[in-house]
Structure 1
């Protein structure tokens, strides 16, 4: 069984958002072809935020159906553009019910998917972030209130992961899944990287960064954690292999 990650699918929703102007030619067809070729039905795929351009639940259904049609069991993470997600876990669970392979999501919680226990949340732009491009596909401004809230949500998710790990009859591999980068190329510790590294996941997958902003994210190993940037364009429009057991 394999674990994959892909972020920032930016599916068009009923609003028919055009990605050509960002240089994403024929999106999402290249991603669809690669996903269908690489991923098997029993594999797990983390979708690391910015799933759809939909702003309301009724606008996202075709995009969720598109994800459901791709092979693999999916876990969803919220991104800063996922306005359709809402603030109610019960409503989100109800929304995902028709889609058999959309098995789990992170919402102040963790999830066990096969041999992996996965913790995470959306995060936000950390004060330690270097200057990056703004705009529709760019970074968000630093907001201390958002950072504090996401720090609390991350802590809640990690605690839930530890509880699920303790209750499991078999050993689980720890994974962190977020949307914003928890650590940047400057390697300055953030309010997000420190609890993640204390959690000691085998891998931390994130997205959010695009185009000229891609080099701003830290990738590679630090403090025993392998950081993987899996936004669609950074990943070459194909799911990235995170782990295999």
Structure 2
């Protein structure tokens, strides 16, 4: 079994569609070609089918769907579910439908999981996840708007890792975040502190697009391997993790 990751698919199907013959003029609410993502769903499909097998797992840390409500997001989830593999998803900043974990989980097709301030197990490995947030010192951070959310998200990651460690002592720990845990402007964060405290070995994240991709911090940072897996950063091809 192989584990892959790919985040930020930014799908917006307005009805049930199959993997092929999508009509962007009728089937899509928010085309991404304005950002240079020409039929990116076809690119994701082709690359996914090329590398992912049914016994594999794909981590999808956020911005799965542009939908405002779960009733619309389900079209995007069902499209993804036609692709092979187990899919583990967590929320991003554009996942406006993600108000209730229970409601999302009840709506998900088989072989798809939603984690948020909790975790799942993949081949004996802990996969914990939460959304993350803008970091103090970063370009878009505003103290009066972001401090409470930032600290709440750190707490949610801690809760997930505490519970996972309690129930699965000794298991390797990976983390899914949507926002990066550090940036060039914010070289420290509570997210990194928590991951180091619990011995997390790998963190996948998304959120960064376009020119921001080139400023992403990746590689081993204090024992935590950081990987940007936003789909445009990895050529719309699920990234092989292990």
- Indicate whether the TM-score tops 0.5: yes
Structure 1's consecutive aligned runs of 4 or more residues displaced over 4 angstroms after TM superposition are: 139-142
| Residues 164, 33 of structure 1: alpha-carbon distance in 2 compared, 3 angstrom cutoff | farther
Map of 2:153 onto structure 1 = 150
How big is the alpha-carbon RMSD for the aligned residues of Structure 1 and Structure 2?
1.7
Map of 2:36 onto structure 1 = 23
- Deviation of 1:192 after TM superposition, in Å, equals 1.1
Map of 1:124 onto structure 2 = 133
Q: Which runs of 5+ in 2 are unaligned?
A: 15-27
Map of 1:8 onto structure 2 = 8
Cα distance in structure 2, aligned partners of 1:242 and 1:196 = 18
Q: TM-score, normalised by structure 1?
A: 0.87
Alignment check: 8 A CA contact 1:118 1:174 kept: yes
DSSP-derived class of the 1:162 partner: helix
| Alignment size in residue pairs | 227
Cα distance in structure 2, aligned partners of 1:148 and 1:62 = 33
- Deviation of 1:157 after TM superposition, in Å, equals 0.9
Q: TM-score, normalised by structure 2?
A: 0.88
Alignment check: 8 A CA contact 1:112 1:164 kept: no
Cα distance in structure 2, aligned partners of 1:9 and 1:238 = 11
Map of 2:210 onto structure 1 = 211
Can you list the C-alpha shifts for 1:9-55, whole angstroms capped at 9, x where unaligned? Answer: 10113262110000101121101100011011111111010000000
Cα distance in structure 2, aligned partners of 1:21 and 1:141 = 29
Q: Which runs of 5+ in 1 are unaligned?
A: 132-138
